[in-house]
């Protein structure tokens, strides 16, 4: 589940830039 959380945060951060 931790990796899933990292994936969501990473995608969201990339989309915000």
The string of DSSP codes covering the chain is -HHHHHHHHHHHHHHH-
Sequence-distant (6+) residues with CB within 8 A of 10 are none
Sequence-distant (6+) residues with CB within 8 A of 4 are none
The predicted pLDDT at position 9 comes to: 97
pLDDT of 1-17, one tens digit each? 899 999 999 999 999 98
């931790």: which residue's tokens? 2
């Amino acid at each position: 589940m931790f990796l899933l959380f990292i994936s969501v945060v990473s995608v969201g951060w990339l989309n915000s830039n």
